[in-house]
Structure 1
Amino acid sequence: MAIPGYDSSSVAEYTLEQAGARVELVAGVVPDAFGLAKSGREPPVDALGDPVDLVACEELKAIEAVRIALVYDPSRLPPGASPTDVAVAVDADDGWEPLESTVDLGETTVTAVLNDRPPGTTVVAGYDDTDGESGNSAT
């Protein structure tokens, strides 16, 4: 699925099937080294999937749009949690930061669309309890 509003011929697509991750982007410069890899980083306590690294993300230039889609495991949601309280989280300088995300309950995917590179290079689907009391949220 291409990024809405962009011609599919201008969208570069990358998939890491074993982690259920897909990134689509529109950028003036996409380095040959760009891609996805399973991350060696420790996932946050409320991760709903495996962390994925955006390889060579810092080398992207003239970014117009980035779409990150991750598969998540709804059985890992805490008891009583809403199945829509899921977000793509990025391991930023000050911890895991949730991105504005859309959940597809049928496909069990969560998607974030940005107009710039993400604030970090490791992403994960996580339980977003930012309205809750927990201080241990991935997001």
Structure 2
Amino acid sequence: MAIPGYDASNVAEYALESAGARVALVAGVVPDEFGLEKSVSEPPAESLADPIDLVDSEDLKAVEAVRIALVYDPSRLPPGASPTDVAVAVETEDGWDRLLSTVDLEETTVTAVLNDRPPGSTVVAAFDGSDETTEGTDRSDGTE
């Protein structure tokens, strides 16, 4: 899973295939314990998949890029919702914040690329029917 603009040899990749979650990152320090696991956190009502924990993400240092890709279940979208109204949401102290995201309709994945570590360690694919997203939401036609 490449991160546009970065040499693949500098990208560390992690996957939790059973949950359809993938993370790629470029960072000066990636702790050995970093990884992905299913979360015990209560997902938001708009969740389209099970939440995932980014283990030891707070110990990432000198982060240049993080790419989070999550599979979602389009059948969980509310009636009449657009299949492009999906975003990666991250749990913060104030609730669930939606990140700038791109939807791939063919693969039923949603991807967020950040230039720093996420503002929380639990992420989920969620319905994004509002315009209230962290740095906006790119509603893509499935191309990246």
- Whether 1:52 and 2:43 are equivalent positions in the alignment is no
| Secondary structure at the counterpart of residue 2 of structure 1 | coil
| Secondary structure at the counterpart of residue 69 of structure 1 | strand
Name the counterpart of 2:15. Answer: 15
Moved over 6 A (4+): none
Please list, as runs of the form range in 1=range in 2, the aligned pairs for 1:35-46 lying within 5 A after superposition.
35-46=35-46
Name the counterpart of 2:142. Answer: none
| Secondary structure at the counterpart of residue 36 of structure 1 | strand
Q: Following the alignment from structure 2 to structure 1, what is the Cα–Cα distance between the partners of residues 104 and 131?
A: 21
After TM superposition, give the deviation of residue 130 of structure 1 in Å. 1.4
Over the aligned positions, Cα root-mean-square deviation in angstroms equals 1.0
| Secondary structure at the counterpart of residue 96 of structure 1 | strand
| Secondary structure at the counterpart of residue 75 of structure 1 | helix
Q: Following the alignment from structure 1 to structure 2, what is the Cα–Cα distance between the partners of residues 14 and 36?
A: 7
After TM superposition, give the deviation of residue 131 of structure 1 in Å. 4.0
Please list, as runs of the form range in 1=range in 2, the aligned pairs for 1:1-139 lying within 5 A after superposition.
1-131=1-131
Q: Following the alignment from structure 2 to structure 1, what is the Cα–Cα distance between the partners of residues 100 and 59?
A: 23
Name the counterpart of 1:137. Answer: none
TM-score, structure 1 length as denominator? 0.93
Aligned-pair identity (%): 77
Q: Following the alignment from structure 2 to structure 1, what is the Cα–Cα distance between the partners of residues 37 and 25?
A: 16
Q: Following the alignment from structure 1 to structure 2, what is the Cα–Cα distance between the partners of residues 88 and 63?
A: 19
Q: Unaligned stretches of 5+ in structure 2? A: 133-144
| Secondary structure at the counterpart of residue 58 of structure 1 | helix
Q: Following the alignment from structure 1 to structure 2, what is the Cα–Cα distance between the partners of residues 66 and 131?
A: 23
| Secondary structure at the counterpart of residue 9 of structure 2 | helix
After TM superposition, give the deviation of residue 129 of structure 1 in Å. 1.4
| Secondary structure at the counterpart of residue 5 of structure 2 | coil
TM-score, structure 2 length as denominator? 0.90
| Secondary structure at the counterpart of residue 90 of structure 1 | strand
